[in-house]
């Protein structure tokens, strides 16, 4: 995350992250969707090779999600704080609260 934040600030040429950041939410979002699909496909692959592929794709999805956080100037601590806020609350209660809000 620190590296990605630095890429967002300095935008060095020859950086894949810079290329993504220059494309903004549309480009990063498209990659996140692609990587999410690849992760889901890999989830049902059998055996050790399937497991390894699944981990590889999870890495890709997390990487691109972190790039979107850097693009939005959001740090991991803020996301961790949001998850901590939810801790101890049932996911079903959280869902009901969201539905009330919308
Ligand atoms: N952890 C990663 C990382 N994970 C995945 N990727 C890239 O994410 C892309 C995954 O997309 P695809 O599988 O579709 O491959 P692709 O066809 O090459 O992708 P596109 O050109 O179509 O976008 C690949 O290009 C991977 O290289 C990453 N690129 C960079 N990092 C790390 O990010 C840091 C900054 O990297 P740079 O900004 O490139 O210096 C460094 O520490 C890197 O190791």
Q: What domains sit in the chain, N to C, each tagged with a CATH number? A: 2-71 (1.10.287.1080), 75-102 (no CATH)
Cα(80) to ligand 1 centroid in Å equals 24
Tell me which residue of 84, 85, 42, 45 sits closest to 60, measured CA to CA.
Answer: 42
Residue 17 near ligand 1, beta carbon < 6 Å:
yes
Q: What is the pLDDT of residue 78?
A: 97
Tell me which residue of 36, 10, 8, 12 sits closest to 24, measured CA to CA.
Answer: 8
CA distances to 18, 22, 31, 81 from 51, rounded to whole Å, are: 30, 33, 22, 30
Q: What is the pLDDT of residue 101?
A: 84
- Say how far apart CA 86 and CA 102 lie, in whole Å: 18
User: H helices then E strands: how many in the chain?
Assistant: 6, 0
pTM for this entry: 0.92
Residue 16 near ligand 1, beta carbon < 6 Å:
yes
Cα(43) to ligand 1 centroid in Å equals 21
Looking at residues 68-91, what average pLDDT do you find?
Answer: 94
Q: What is the pLDDT of residue 33?
A: 98
Looking at residues 75-101, what average pLDDT do you find?
Answer: 89
Q: What is the ipTM of this complex?
A: 0.91
Residue 50 has pLDDT above 90, yes or no: yes
Residue 42 near ligand 1, beta carbon < 6 Å:
no
Q: What is the pLDDT of residue 68?
A: 98
Residue 94 has pLDDT above 90, yes or no: no
Q: What letter does residue 60 receive in the DSSP assignment?
A: H
Secondary structure (3-state) at 12: coil
């Amino acid at each position: 995350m620190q590296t990605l934040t630095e890429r967002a600030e300095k935008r060095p040429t020859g950086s894949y992250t810079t290329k993504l950041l220059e494309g903004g939410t549309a480009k990063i979002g498209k990659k996140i969707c692609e990587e999410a699909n690849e992760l889901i496909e890999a989830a049902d692959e059998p055996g050790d090779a399937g497991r390894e592929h699944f981990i590889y794709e999870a890495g890709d999805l997390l990487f691109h999600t972190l790039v979107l956080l850097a693009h939005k100037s959001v740090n991991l601590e803020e996301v961790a704080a949001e998850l901590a806020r939810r801790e101890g609350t049932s996911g079903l209660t959280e869902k009901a609260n969201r539905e009330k809000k919308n």
